[in-house]
């Protein structure tokens, strides 16, 4: 009886797994149960990079490689593959892998880059963190972006010679108590935020250091 229950559980698990999106071997297509939902030639990308599910499991996003895998392409889907939406466009790309879900699964945040390989037009949009409401596709600057307590973060947008300052309190006038290198990873958000002007500052810990940084210089590390 126990062996039958275990077999049934494994079978149900395998069936459920087969309903999940997969990237094919040459990374050009996204499939669910053998049906193609993304194709590199039709959907405008070089290859697929990764799939990330929303925290509630009801949707997923797909990150695809654009120009040299720096100016990247993004799509959102319902969990069953319906509701396909491409949310990037020319002069509105995702910087590498700088993309994340909100904790409530209602928004996708990404760091917009205009181009790393061409001169943009005068009216090109500004670079910076953006938010997309997944139900409507409405896009705006990411004023709702907040870090998640159960995630880990890394530093970006600083150079090797100009690290990110860790401060004893929020704001640029606060005392510097440490330096975070351009490639520092494993930062943990402690749950405290503070609005300073138009910027959101967060309290983080990394190693033996604890302090405040501007959250726009942090991105969520992928877990898979």
Sorted by where each begins, the domain ranges of the chain are: 21-141, 152-220
User: DSSP for 117-161?
Assistant: SSPPPTTPPPPEEEEEETTT--EEE-TT----TTSEEEE-S-BTT
Q: Determine which of 5-14, 114-123, 183-192 has the lowest per-residue pLDDT on average.
A: 5-14
Summarize the confidence of residues 154-175 as an average pLDDT: 96
- According to DSSP H, which parts of 19-132 are helical? 40-43
Q: What is the pLDDT of residues 20-69, one digit of tens each?
A: 999 999 999 999 999 999 999 999 999 999 999 999 999 999 999 999 99
Question: What pLDDT shows up at residue 224?
Answer: 60
In this prediction, residue 12 has a pLDDT band, given cuts at 50, 70 and 90, of very low
Give the global pTM.
0.89
**3-state class (DSSP) for residue 103:** coil
Residue 180 neighbours by CB distance under 10 Å: 23
Question: What pLDDT shows up at residue 6?
Answer: 53
Q: Does residue 203 have a pLDDT over 50? A: yes
Q: Compute the distance between CA of residue 115 and CA of residue 119 in angstroms, rounded to an integer.
A: 7
The topology (CATH level 3) of 152-220 is SH3 type barrels. (2.30.30)
Question: What pLDDT shows up at residue 223?
Answer: 79
Q: Compute the distance between CA of residue 45 and CA of residue 74 in angstroms, rounded to an integer.
A: 10
Question: What pLDDT shows up at residue 222?
Answer: 87
């Amino acid at each position: 009886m126990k062996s039958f229950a275990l077999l049934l559980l494994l079978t149900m698990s395998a069936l459920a797994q087969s309903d999940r999106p997969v990237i094919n071997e040459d990374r050009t297509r996204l499939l669910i149960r053998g049906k193609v939902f993304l194709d590199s030639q039709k959907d405008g990308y070089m290859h697929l990079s990764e799939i990330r599910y929303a925290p509630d499991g009801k949707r997923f996003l797909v990150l695809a490689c654009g120009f040299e895998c720096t100016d990247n392409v993004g799509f959102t889907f319902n969990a069953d593959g319906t509701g396909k939406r491409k949310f990037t466009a020319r002069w509105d790309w995702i910087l590498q892998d700088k993309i994340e879900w909100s904790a409530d699964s209602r928004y996708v945040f990404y760091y917009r880059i205009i181009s790393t390989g061409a001169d943009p037009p005068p009216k090109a949009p500004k670079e910076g963190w953006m938010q997309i409401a997944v139900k409507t596709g409405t896009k705006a600057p990411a004023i709702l972006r907040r870090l998640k307590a159960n995630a880990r973060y890394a530093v970006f947008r600083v150079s090797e010679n100009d690290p990110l300052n860790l401060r004893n309190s929020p704001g640029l006038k606060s005392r510097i108590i440490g330096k975070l290198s351009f490639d520092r990873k494993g930062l943990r958000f402690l749950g405290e935020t503070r609005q300073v002007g138009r910027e959101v500052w967060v309290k983080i810990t990394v190693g033996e250091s604890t302090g405040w940084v501007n959250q726009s210089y942090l991105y969520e590390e992928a877990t898979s």
